């Protein structure tokens, strides 16, 4: 009994203080961490592949006018799985190292992008999905009724 308590005390003393001083000191996640999503508006061409595969269904597409498509990411319910970045044919979507995303303004949780579209003259579709399990159920941009069926 006494020996057990002594051993336990040694473990505690040897370990010392391990709590990090966060948030007084910054804490960087490990490389490869899946944090807040960014979309590069110069690269996105509005194919809707991201909206098609998003398990949480938080990426929405609206066709605003003849040559414009609105892409909205409501990331308050984003699960940071990174499927959107994986299927993006232009690598326009990236997951950053940012995890301090608390906010008191609801509008901060929406990323909106207006993409000017030109119809694909060869195939009528924008890109080939990676596997049959991710078949596009987003129609061509004229008929699209949003990111989900």
Partner 1 sequence: MAVAEGAMARVVDGITDRLGQQLIEASLSPPDTLQLVIDPSAVRAATEQLVRGLGARFLISIGVDRRLLAGDFGVVHLFSMDADHLFVALDCSAAADDPRIDSITGVVPGAAWSEREFRDAVGVEPVGHPDPRRLMLADDWPEGLYPLRRDVPYNIDPPPAEGVRPRFAAPPEGASVLAMGPFYPVLEEPAYFRLFVEGETIVGCDYRGFYNHRGIEKLGDSTLTYNEVPYLAERICGICGFIHSSCYCQAVEKAAGIEVPRRARFLRTLLLEVERIHSHLLWLGIAGHIIGFDTVLMQAWRIREPVMWLAEEISGNRKTYGMNTIGGVRRDVPAALIPKLLATVAEVERELTAVRDAVVTDTTVHARTRNVGRLETAWAREVCVVGPPARASNVAIDARLDHPYAAYDEIVPKICTDEGGDTWARVVVRLNEAFESIRLVRETLAHMPDGPVLTEVSEPIPAGRLGISTVEAPRGEAVHAVLTGEDNRPHRWRVRAPTYPNLQAVPAMIQNQMIADVPITLGSLDPCFSCTERVEAVDVTSGAIRVYSRRELASLAKRGGAGR
Q: Which is nearer to partner 1, 32 or 118 (CB)?
A: 32
Question: Which pair of tokens denotes residue 73?
Answer: 């990411």
> Residue 33 interacts with partner 1 (CB under 8 A)?
yes
97, 35 contact by CB (below 8 A) = yes
Nearer CB in complex with partner 1: 5/122? 5
Token digits of residue 83: 């499927």
Which residue, chain included where needed, has tokens 């990676």? 130
Please tell me whether residue 82 binds partner 1 under the rule CB under 8 A. Answer: yes
Token representation of residue 49:
């592949």
Which listed residue (13, 21, 25, 55) binds partner 1 by CB under 8 A?
55
Question: Measured from the CB atom, is 1 or 123 closer to partner 1?
Answer: 1
C-alpha span between 11 and 100 (Å, rounded): 33
Residue with token string 């299927």: 87
Site residues (vs partner 1, CB under 8 A): 1, 3-5, 7-8, 10-12, 15, 18, 23, 29-34, 53-58, 74-77, 79-83, 86, 95, 99-104, 106, 109-110, 131-135
């Amino acid at each position: 009994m006494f020996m057990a308590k002594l051993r336990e005390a040694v473990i505690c003393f040897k370990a010392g203080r391990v709590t990090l001083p966060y948030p007084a000191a910054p804490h960087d996640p490990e490389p490869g961490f899946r944090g807040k999503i960014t979309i590069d508006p110069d690269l996105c061409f509005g194919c809707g592949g991201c909206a098609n595969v998003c398990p949480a269904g938080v990426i929405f597409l609206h066709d605003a006018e003849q040559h414009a498509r609105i892409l909205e990411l409501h990331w308050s319910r984003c699960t940071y799985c990174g499927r959107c970045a994986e299927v993006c044919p232009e690598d326009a979507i990236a997951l950053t190292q940012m995890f301090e995303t608390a906010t008191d303004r609801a509008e901060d949780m929406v990323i909106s992008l207006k993409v000017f579209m030109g119809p694909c003259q060869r195939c009528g579709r924008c890109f080939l999905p990676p596997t049959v399990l991710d078949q596009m159920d987003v129609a061509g941009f004229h008929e699209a009724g949003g990111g989900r069926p």
